[in-house]
Structure 1
Amino acid sequence: MRHEGRTRPSLRISLAQNENEVREAQRLRYKIFGEEMGARLSTRVPDHDTDLFDPYCDHLLVRDENTGKVVGTYRILSPEAAKRVGSYYSEDEFSFTRLQHLRPRMVEIGRSCIHADYRSGAVIALLWSGLGEYMVTRGYAYLIGCASISMTDGGHNAANLYQQLTEEQQAPLEYRVFPRHPLPFEHLANGQPALIPPLLKGYLRAGGRVCGEPAWDPDFNTADLLLMLPMERLSERYQRHFIAT
């Protein structure tokens, strides 16, 4: 991965080992979510994206060792940590009634972001490999997380996308969740072909399934879909990224 006028980056993935490294992830998140996307972030630390879940999470980092900067991050909430904090982050948007029996082996990921100069694929591939190692070494079976769809068009694309999901892309009824603030997709859909955000496309290609109707997140101005990826469904293609052999 080459950047114009720059040395080829030397990328390394790791889990944050101390508070300073967590702060680096939070600064990157603020830059992407707050400055680039214009999200309303209720943070207590200037120029950082922080919330009450951060102290309970593991923070996956991709660092460019040539510059020393964190250029990609994922936040991981283990089932043990979710129990300590009292819920998964996504439960603010969805009712998990039908997922209760999965909690002991269910990991939540979120706050995925990559610096604008590093969005060529190498960073997300490293993040996926780090997630895979995390899941496999700890023996977890289910990966969940929200995929966000911009509402800058008034929500039409998000509504079209949900309506155009195939049966194979949707979770069985017993794994459906229920949005607390539903997106009125029936009224917003206009039949145009949906544009699928890259992260959501990656989840679906990996074997993930959408667990129900979209929720509206007014702070980020997005429609959110909860996805679940059982490790046993992981596609062969993505096993190369997820599971080191």
Structure 2
Amino acid sequence: MTILAKGRYRAFETRTDADFARCLALRSMVFPADRQVADDYDTRCRHVLIEDLDTGAAVCTFRLMPLANGGEIGASYSARYYELGKLRAFHGKMVELGRFCVHPDHRDADVLRLAWGALTRIVDQEEVEMLFGCASFQGTDAKTHADAFAFLHQRHVAPPRWLPRVKAPRAVALARALTRPLDPRRALAAMPPLLRTYLTMGGWVSDHAVVDDEMGTMHVFTGVEIGAIPPARQRLLRAVAG
């Protein structure tokens, strides 16, 4: 089922085993350290694939786990790594965004734009009030991401009422990641594109990063309350989704 099509790209929700296999193939290319490309959460998620209409190539994929409210957050993938007890008090509909990846040969800004346009349509149509997930940094050496972690700590840590607590056995406090003066330019350059987009929408992160040896990444819990997205950003997203 097509969600959104613009230019040479189409975003659609997968319905067949063959299309889901294309999602897994793209995941294995982007996350080569992950020995288990599919997991138990996949059966509880909806899967979106973006393809190049000119070539038929799969260029982006992600999965969505809808939750009726915060009371169901313990079933999310993120809850494996973060203590999310405070978010159980969230009353509105939530969606966990996961396994977001873009083909390394198709890092076209239009792909990311279409992905967020498709997400915006889903959020609006289904009246979702919070989008959350784990934003990943490639590699497990905290020093590599020190500027980005310090930047997140200074400007984007979650409000106390939603702040995730440490649960994973290997976690790095964002506040302790950097031992030199912060370079904002270097920090933004090192930020994953997905996370940068979250932040422009008023998104926030956990105060620590988790080392994920299975995926060969470090990640931060990331959330955005839909009602808190700045009006100008909402207009831009809906223009893409229109």
TM over 0.5: yes
Matches within 5 A, 1:5-154: 10-34=8-32, 39-42=33-36, 49-80=37-68, 87-102=75-90, 104-151=92-139, 154=141
Deviations 1:214-235 (A, max 9, x none): 1111222322111111111223
1:227 to 2:222 alignment: yes
Distance 1:164 1:26, change over 3 A: same
In the alignment, is the contact (CA less than 8 A) between 1:77 and 1:88 conserved in 2? yes
CA shift, 1:241, in A, is 2.6
Gaps of 5+ in 1: 1-8, 43-48
For the residues of structure 2 that align with 1:239 and 1:118, how far apart are their CA atoms? 26
Partner of 1:210: 205
For the residues of structure 2 that align with 1:229 and 1:167, how far apart are their CA atoms? 17
CA shift, 1:149, in A, is 1.7
Matches within 5 A, 1:184-195: 185=174, 188-191=177-180, 193=183, 194=187, 195=190
Gaps of 5+ in 2: 1-6
Deviations 1:188-221 (A, max 9, x none): 4222533322221121112211133211112223
1:241 to 2:237 alignment: yes
TM-score scaled by length of structure 1: 0.82
**Among the aligned pairs, what percent are the same residue?**
25
RMSD of the TM alignment (CA)?
A: 2.6
CA shift, 1:159, in A, is 3.7
**Which structure dedicates a bigger proportion of its chain to strand?**
2
Aligned-partner residue type, residue 40 of structure 1: D
Aligned-partner residue type, residue 217 of structure 2: T
TM-score scaled by length of structure 2: 0.83
CA shift, 1:130, in A, is 0.7
